[in-house]
Amino acid sequence: MTTLRTDKMIAGKEGAIGWITFNNPARHNAVSMAMWEALFEIVTDYAADGAIRVIVVKGAGERAFVSGADISEFEEKRSSPETTRIYNETAQKASKALKDIGKPTIAMIRGYCVGGGVSTAMSCDLRIAAEGASFAVPAAKLGLGYEYEGVRKLMDVVGPSFAKEIFFTARQFTAQEALAMGLINRLLPADRLETYVREYAAMIADNAPLTVSSIKTIVAEALKDESRRDRALCQEVVDRCFNSADYREGRQAFMEKRKPRFVGR
């Protein structure tokens, strides 16, 4: 694995898988403004790297995925309307980059997934958690307001009723409750989590990148209000698949009864 380290973030490239680790275990991987900035830089790098086909996001250690924003920064970074605006824009920019990247993303969740951790997990396409994980959005206990995009992102995954329950109660939900709500896709014993995620990521990476990317694009468009959907873009990404060398390779491999070798073009 090739690894790039920032102060509190780790980016590691391992074959076709790009790993992003929130590395602040002393604070349960609470996210500082500098970490949001680093996340944006890492995602931008992975987006431009054709060798990376799947991205896995995780927290350092066993106790937390991400426990939310680093509240120790709030007096300096979020104590006035202007500093709050700058902080929110920085976090939203990073989250949007992760959500909009044209490659599949997986949140690998252990322990606490709270506040900004839930938002980060919702920015990923898939969420796979270990037993014992817990989830909460405690904004109502802190007096925080949640921007439209953050609320919509959660609502798109769990639906309006569960989204309201999560925000209204501000309580911790168990991994089993999260699975029942659709907040996570899979729930694994803790000792199987990383192996399962690696195998799942490798399975996705072996598939045709243009097809996978086209599905991500079309699902994103389908979730928009009808007036904002770009149907032409949806058709464009489908046509790109049918006109690709990978489509020819897929047909040939099927006829020859062998595993296809997709190159993403």
Helix 81-100 to helix 116-123 angle, to the nearest 10 degrees? 30
Task: Read off the pTM.
Answer: 0.92
| Domains: count for the chain | 2
Listed in sequence order, the residues at least 6 apart from 264 whose beta carbon sits closer than 8 Å to its beta carbon are 50, 53, 208, 209, 210, 246
Q: Could you write out the three-class secondary structure of the chain?
A: CEEEECCCEEEEEECCEEEEEECCHHHCCCECHHHHHHHHHHHHHHHHCCCCCEEEEEECCCCEEECCECHHHHHHHCCCHHHHHHHHHHHHHHHHHHHHCCCCEEEEECCEEECHHHHHHHHCCEEEEECCCEEECCHHHHCCCCCHHHHHHHHHHHCHHHHHHHHHHCCCEEHHHHHHHCCCCEEECHHHHHHHHHHHHHHHHHCCHHHHHHHHHHHHHHCCCHHHCCHHHHHHHHHHHHCCHHHHHHHHHHHCCCCCCCCCC
Domain check: are 108 and 214 in the same one? no
Q: What is the pLDDT of residues 110-131, one digit of tens each?
A: 999 999 899 999 999 999 999 9
* Confidence band of 68 (pLDDT split at 50, 70, 90): confident
Asked if residue 193 is part of any domain, the answer here is yes
pLDDT digits (tens, 9 = 90+) for 5-22: 668 899 999 999 999 999
Residue 101 lies in a domain: yes
**78 domain residue, yes or no:** yes
Domain of 23, in residue numbers:
2-204
Same domain membership, residue 247 and residue 139: no
Residue 113 lies in a domain: yes
Domain identity same for 193 and 212: no
Is residue 261 situated within a structural domain?
no
Residue 73 scores a pLDDT above 70: no
Are 155 and 191 within one domain? yes
The reply to whether 260 falls in a domain is no
In whole angstroms, give the CA distance from residue 19 to residue 3.
9
Question: Residue 57 — pLDDT band, cuts 50, 70, 90?
Answer: very high
Q: Are residues 128 and 114 in the same domain?
A: yes
Residues 67 and 164 in one domain: yes
Query: Quick one: pLDDT at residue 205?
Result: 96
User: 44 and 26, same structural domain?
Assistant: yes
The pLDDT, as a whole number, for residue 123 is 95
The answer to whether residue 262 sits within a structural domain is no
Residue 1 has pLDDT above 90, yes or no: no
User: What does the pLDDT read at residue 79?
Assistant: 59
Joined together, the tokens standing for residue 126 give 């898939």
| Residue 252: count of CB within 10 angstroms of its CB | 12
- What's the pLDDT band for 74 if we cut at 50, 70, 90? low
**Of 32 and 187, which is predicted with more confidence?**
187
Same domain, 6 and 90: yes
Query: 64 and 108 share a domain?
Result: yes
The answer to the question of residue 149 being in a domain is: yes
β-strand partners of 31:
69
Shared domain check, 228 and 100 = no
Q: Which two tokens stand for residue 49?
A: 């790297």
The pLDDT mean for the chain works out to 91
pLDDT at 83 over 90: no
Are both 59 and 175 inside the same structural domain? yes
The predicted-structure confidence for 188-246, as pLDDT tens digits, reads as follows 999 999 999 999 999 999 999 999 999 999 999 999 889 999 999 999 999 999 999 98
Kindly state whether residues 143 and 231 are assigned to the same domain: no
CATH at 183: 3.90.226.10
